[in-house]
Chain A
Amino acid sequence: MEIILRNIHKQGYSPDISSYITEGGYKALEQSLEVKPGHLLSEIKLSKLVGRGGAAFPTGLKWELAHNAEEYPKYVVCNADEGEPGTFKDRIIMERDPHLLLEAMAICGRIIGSTQGIIYIRGEYFDAYEILKKAILDAEKRKFLGRNILGSDFSFNIRLYRGAGAYVCGEETALLDSLEGKKGQSRVKPPFPTFTGYEDKPTALNNVETLSNIPEIVLKGGEWFSKIGSPLSPGTKLYCLSGNIHKPGVYELPTGTPLSELLGKYGGGVEGKLKAVLPGGVSSSFLTDRELSVNMDYPSVAKAGSALGSGAVIVINDTHCMVDIAKRCTEFFAHESCGMCTPCREGTKRAKEMLTGITQGSGELSSLELLRDMRKVMYDTSRCGLGQSALNAVVSAIEKFRDEFEEHIAAKKCNLGICSG
């Protein structure tokens, strides 16, 4: 069952517009020009599609809010600033099937009443940028983008904007600031971007993967989509397997596929003995072999005490020290915190210091409790998701592998000989 990768996996498929049209591309856009935006919107709502960037916000509701907003111009912004360690699905879509994204954005524009789309693409995706640039020109030539699309009264343009290497710009309001030529620092919410987004105008801001579901929903109907996978967050999900796994890569499977099946059947099994899994990148909490039966959809993973996030499944085997891994995670967040709000700016740095101390044999047992408290404070008071989730991995590592931490602190040694101390 593939919705997003259905073209990519066909023999001889290329990112060219001709390939896309041969496979029925831009049919959904054509069809959506013939019906009222309200009708399209009800199909999207019926599909129960939720955002695939990590927050799992219902797409239909988001677009309804943008549709109902009365200020103009409105904007469609695509978040292609894929930065969560372990995530590389959006790159695959943009490089292999760029027109899928363009078509989806045009449909979104039609629904909310916008004539301008912007793709904010991360700076390091040089290839994807060039491919999208060409794709936009090709689509304009064939009247799928630009003025009076396919002879209708609907006009829609898309332009690209390159990021410059900041993880925090994946957060929607930081992305909007960056898009306006500023430092990418998150804004206070509310107001949400659907009312006050790009240039303070109503903006529908969606992840690449979320948007890529739209053409099929328009063609086959919301009800069809809502019956795929797990009923609470239906559809398919792109799972990015990486780390100590035999066959790393992107796998599109119905939501609710058990984690064990994902690792075993699709990933070809774990390299070595499994120690822990991060189901949603370094912002999520660790799961262990006791939790492998969890169904990979948003509510189920949350119930298991973690988060599906962007679907970055990072597999860790028993040759790795969890204290060391936890330290790596804090290093990442300390580096990427934008510095705007105090809990995150200071919290990520102190956490990094504490964990560095523990790996070097100068840690204290009280740090473990302190880290737990800090996670709560940061969750409650940080302005955006970066700070709110920065200590998830660390605290879950402490909870699930407490012996390793205590050993590092009490005996001042790392059994695996990884931490210097």
Chain B
Amino acid sequence: MERKGGQGDGGVGETTGESPALPGGYPGGSRVYSAGGNYLPAGKHEYSCSGYLRCDNFLRYAQLEEEGMSLEKCKAEIEEILQEYSNNRAEALLPCLHVAQEKCRYLPEDVISFLAEKLEQPKANVYSVASFYSMYNLQEQGKYIIRVCVSLPCYLNGSQEILNSLREELNIHEGETTQDKLFTLQPVSCLGLCDVSPAMMINEKVYGNLTPQKVTEIISQYREGEKEWR
């Protein structure tokens, strides 16, 4: 399946498009702003951000990864779930994977190993479950996962155009993450939003009755929001 990759070959450094290396040298990062603070797609920027807050955060995140610390971010929650399912440990796997993914934005190898140990299962088994379900990701995802429905009802109402305009707007292909690690584009099977087709979800939020123009507006809203935060 195209959406899956092995541990280690995906992750932080793998993005497409051209972008000059950034000061600080954290892997793959390229949150890029113009002098005026407007977001510009990768490769078209004039000025690289060196704003402390966000870049520091990214740097810390990258270091956590290097030191295999991603487990720390979800260990407490995992323990809690294991407690809840103490009568039937095997069953805890899906909820644990959900929480790990929520905290780490994907399922890093150390989480898989930890779960295998705790659930007394072979690591390969945990990996096979994690790679079976399409909502689990084995590669690092963007802050916002855009799930675009490409099933028949949405297709009949123009999901293809929606996908095209997202590709263009974000400058990435399906399954990829933008260089600034903000957006991941995922074409998915029916989301059960056929009454407002074509539809998509950004993380947990639903967007329906889409047009290419609406998509552009929504994406720029997210970008604006990020800027305010910064």
Q: How far is the CB of A211 from chain B (nearest CB, A)?
A: 18
The reply to whether A181 and B91 form a contact with Cβ atoms under 8 Å apart is: yes
* A57: B residues at CB distance < 8 A: none
State whether the Cβ of B192 lies closer than 8 Å to any Cβ in chain A. yes
State whether the Cβ of B153 lies closer than 8 Å to any Cβ in chain A. yes
Q: Which of B110-163 contact A (CB under 8 A)?
A: 119, 128-129, 132-136, 147, 151-153, 155-157
Q: Number of contacts between A and B (CB, 8 Å)? A: 131
State whether the Cβ of A258 lies closer than 8 Å to any Cβ in chain B. no
The reply to whether A125 and B153 form a contact with Cβ atoms under 8 Å apart is: no
The reply to whether B129 and A124 form a contact with Cβ atoms under 8 Å apart is: no
A323 to B134, CA, bound (A): 27
A183 to B93, CA, bound (A): 10
A84 to B149, CA, bound (A): 12
The reply to whether A335 and B189 form a contact with Cβ atoms under 8 Å apart is: yes
A163 to B129, CA, bound (A): 12
* A241: B residues at CB distance < 8 A: 195
The reply to whether B195 and A242 form a contact with Cβ atoms under 8 Å apart is: yes
* A316: B residues at CB distance < 8 A: 156
State whether the Cβ of B64 lies closer than 8 Å to any Cβ in chain A. no
Number of interface residues of B (CB under 8 A): 38
The reply to whether A85 and B190 form a contact with Cβ atoms under 8 Å apart is: yes
The reply to whether B195 and A85 form a contact with Cβ atoms under 8 Å apart is: no
Q: Which of A115-135 contact B (CB under 8 A)?
A: 122-127
The reply to whether A125 and B192 form a contact with Cβ atoms under 8 Å apart is: yes
A331 — nearest CB in chain B belongs to which residue?
Answer: B150
| Contacts A/B (CB < 8 Å), 19 sampled | A85-B190, A86-B153, A86-B194, A88-B194, A123-B135, A165-B134, A167-B189, A180-B88, A182-B90, A182-B129, A199-B88, A242-B156, A242-B194, A242-B195, A243-B152, A244-B157, A250-B195, A282-B152, A332-B189
Task: Give A residues with C-beta under 8 Å from B.
Answer: 82-88, 90-91, 122-127, 161-167, 178-184, 199, 240-244, 248-250, 278, 282, 312, 314-316, 320, 325, 328-329, 332, 335-336, 338
Task: Give B residues with C-beta under 8 Å from A.
Answer: 1, 88, 90-95, 97-98, 119, 128-129, 132-136, 147, 151-153, 155-157, 188-197, 201, 204, 206
Leading 7 A-B pairs by shortest Cβ distance: A164-B133, A242-B194, A165-B135, A85-B151, A165-B134, A181-B93, A242-B153
